[in-house]
Amino acid sequence: MNKSDSSPAPSDRAACGEATFSVGTLRVPARSSHLSLIGMFVQWYAHHAGLSDEACYELEVAIDEACTNVIRHAYGAGKPGGITLHCTPLNRGLQVDIWDQGIPFDPTEGGRIAQQKQACDPASGGFGLSMIRQFADDVHHQ
């Protein structure tokens, strides 16, 4: 997923003598105890990509929701597996790729289930997908 902003591009900042950065990778076990580490990783790249504090927060929420779905649905309770994140600086923004080896996700079916949950019992969930779509500029599944 992508998140962009109107701040100077990393290449512009490098020309001004500021430190720059490139693609970063984080691999963690798919456990909820690693969500805070994922959040710190994404925040660091988002800030260095020049995103505003608000955009950084929104991207962190979007990534947390996606990784939570991987932990909760792709692998399921207690099932071992990993999550790999790639952060790639864009001209004015950040692209975050999330990889897992769990059960494949069907966005259409996932959206239908989320709507059902919200309609029947909001405490059962169904907010994550819509939050991802609202907080990220561009979302792709494969």
Residue 36 within binding range of another protein, rule CB under 8 A: yes
Question: Which residues lie below 8 Å from residue 71, measured CB to CB, with a gap of 6+?
Answer: 30, 31, 32, 35, 83
| Binding-site size, another protein (CB under 8 A) | 25
Tell me which of 86, 130, 137, 139 binds another protein, using CB under 8 A: 130
CA dihedral 99, 69, 105, 100 (to 10 degrees): 20
Tell me which of 54, 78, 109, 142 binds another protein, using CB under 8 A: 54
Scanning residues 69 to 88, which ones bind another protein (CB under 8 A)? 71-72
Residue 40 burial (CB count, 10 A): 12
Beta-bridged to residue 49, according to DSSP, are none
DSSP secondary-structure letter at 137? S
In whole angstroms, the minimum distance from the beta carbon of 17 to another protein comes to 32
Looking at 14-22, 27-35, 85-93, 103-111, which segment touches another protein (CB under 8 A)?
A: 27-35
Residue 113 within binding range of another protein, rule CB under 8 A: no
Q: Which is nearer to another protein, 71 or 74 (CB)?
A: 71
Tell me the C-alpha distance between 136 and 138, whole Å: 6
- Give 95's Cβ-side CA count (13 Å radius): 10
Beta-bridged to residue 89, according to DSSP, are 94
Q: Which is nearer to another protein, 4 or 64 (CB)?
A: 64
Q: Which residues bind another protein (CB under 8 A)?
A: 32-33, 35-36, 39, 54, 57-58, 60-61, 64-65, 68, 71-72, 122-125, 127-128, 130-131, 134-135
